[in-house]
């Protein structure tokens, strides 16, 4: 039984969704900031240490909210692409942006190293045997899994026409059953952490399927009240916090269940549920209407979100960015000041990186991408004529 056709809003630029896209990347930035910046001591770090207590549990909950942001991006893709034709250009554009940022950061680091010692232990990335790994990371980002999120996103795009066929021909109940199966796989690692069937591709496909379901069966979601969506988000957040506190308490049962290995990503299905509630809420709100200049500015900020990720998750970028942030932190004397500094630092970091990303994409990435695509089209056109 094919899915029913729903009257949909065909606006290609729903500002509610664009704001949600910005919020999603903000959550990712805050996630990585909490991991890499020690606001108490004003130092940068590679990993977030594990300590018993609510303070550490809150920190890991913020980290896991980064997965909420990632889930939102996957859901947005499914929502907009479920009724679109497969496009190699879309895949190439995503890959090329990832490749260009990786190579650009490498080139900047090599040039900077000629004039001065690189800060924050970045010199080691270009020395000895590590330099080979760095070159592979930069020139083969997709094959080398340099950016796990972008890799999963590209694979999701490759699988999208097959998923779309399911939505075109599979009954709604079977689609729900398939989504439920994926959600079960997301909870599977909690069973002694021995089953590793959950991975980044399953994660991306599940997010895409949820977004596609929201688009295809919006009417059926009206039975879920706004209060229920809010309650679900609160409950999921409370479960995340409680799970983190339990794991960090060094409980004997937490060690037996090997949940300490899950502390970074947490309960995978909970961020997905929160992302679902946020997305449905954004779709239900009246579409935001802004004057032309403000609307254009918002769309520019939204367009730079992938670039923000590629900059601050680059192997050079995250060391430099979070090292600089840590070195500029003022002395923090109380908890309220700490919270305010964290909030302001995350917003400022996102704003600066977004401006840089928009500049790079507008002047370099997109023109080069279009040049390559147009060149390929001309070559293909010439071959067809011959």
Cα angle 224, 176, 19 (rounded to 5 degrees) comes to 55
Place 383 in a pLDDT band, splitting at 50, 70 and 90: confident
With b for 16 or more beta-carbon neighbours within 10 A and e for fewer, the 358-367 pattern comes to bebbeeebbe
Give the SS3 label for residue 44: strand
- State pLDDT tens for residues 206-244: 999 999 999 999 888 999 999 999 999 999 999 999 999
Its pTM surpasses 0.85: yes
Is 5 a residue whose pLDDT tops 60?
A: no
Is 189 a residue whose pLDDT tops 90?
A: no
The pLDDT of residue 3? 43
The pLDDT of residue 13? 80
The pLDDT of residue 194? 65
Pick 382 or 139 by higher pLDDT. 139
Do residues 208 and 74 touch, judged by C-beta distance below 8 A?
Answer: yes
The pLDDT of residue 106? 97
- State pLDDT tens for residues 151-165: 999 999 999 999 999
The pLDDT of residue 1? 38
User: What tokens does 158 get?
Assistant: 């490759």
Mean pLDDT value across residues 346-363: 97
What is the Cα–Cα distance from 306 to 25, expressed in whole angstroms?
8
Do residues 123 and 117 touch, judged by C-beta distance below 8 A?
Answer: yes
What is the Cα–Cα distance from 147 to 150, expressed in whole angstroms?
6
Running DSSP on this structure, what letter comes out for residue 52? S
The pLDDT of residue 82? 96
Place 12 in a pLDDT band, splitting at 50, 70 and 90: low
Mean pLDDT value across residues 280-304: 92
Place 10 in a pLDDT band, splitting at 50, 70 and 90: very low
Mean pLDDT, the chain, rounded, equals 91
Q: In 3D, which of 63, 24, 53, 26 has the Cα closest to residue 343?
A: 26
Mean pLDDT value across residues 114-134: 91
Percent of the chain with pLDDT over 70: 96
Is 2 a residue whose pLDDT tops 60?
A: no
């Amino acid at each position: 039984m094919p899915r029913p056709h729903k009257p949909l809003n065909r606006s290609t630029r729903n500002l509610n969704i664009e704001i949600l896209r910005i919020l999603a990347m903000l959550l990712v930035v805050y996630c990585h900031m909490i991991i890499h910046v020690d606001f108490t001591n004003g130092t940068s770090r590679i990993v977030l240490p594990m300590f018993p207590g609510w303070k550490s549990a809150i920190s890991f909950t913020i980290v896991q909210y980064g997965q909420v942001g990632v889930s939102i991006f996957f859901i947005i893709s499914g929502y907009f692409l479920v009724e679109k034709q497969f496009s190699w250009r879309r895949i190439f554009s995503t890959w090329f942006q990832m490749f260009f940022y990786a190579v650009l950061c490498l080139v900047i680091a090599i040039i900077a190293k000629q004039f001065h010692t690189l800060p924050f232990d970045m010199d080691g990335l270009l020395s000895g045997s590590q330099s080979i790994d760095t070159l592979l990371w930069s020139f083969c980002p997709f094959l080398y899994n340099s950016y796990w999120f972008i890799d999963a996103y590209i694979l999701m795009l490759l699988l999208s026409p097959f998923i779309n066929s399911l939505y075109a021909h599979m009954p709604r109940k079977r689609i729900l059953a398939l989504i439920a199966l994926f959600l079960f796989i997301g909870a599977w690692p909690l069973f002694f952490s021995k089953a590793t069937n959950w991975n980044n591709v399953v994660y991306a496909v599940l997010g895409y399927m949820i977004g596609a379901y929201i688009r295809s069966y919006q009417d059926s979601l009206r039975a879920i009240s706004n209060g229920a969506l809010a309650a679900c988000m609160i409950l999921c957040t409370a479960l995340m916090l409680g799970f983190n506190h339990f794991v960090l308490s060094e409980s004997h049962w937490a060690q037996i269940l090997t949940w300490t290995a899950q502390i970074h990503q947490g309960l995978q299905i909970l961020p997905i549920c929160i992302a679902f509630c946020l997305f449905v809420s954004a779709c239900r709100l009246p579409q935001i209407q802004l004057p032309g200049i403000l609307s254009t500015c918002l769309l520019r900020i939204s367009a730079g979100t992938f670039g923000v990720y590629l900059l601050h998750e680059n192997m050079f970028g995250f060391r430099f960015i979070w090292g600089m942030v840590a070195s500029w932190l003022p002395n923090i004397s109380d908890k309220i000041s700490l919270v305010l500094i964290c909030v302001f630092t995350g917003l400022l970091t996102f704003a600066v990186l977004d401006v840089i990303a928009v500049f790079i994409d507008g002047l370099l990435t997109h023109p080069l991408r279009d040049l390559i695509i147009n060149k390929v089209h001309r070559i293909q056109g010439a071959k067809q004529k011959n």
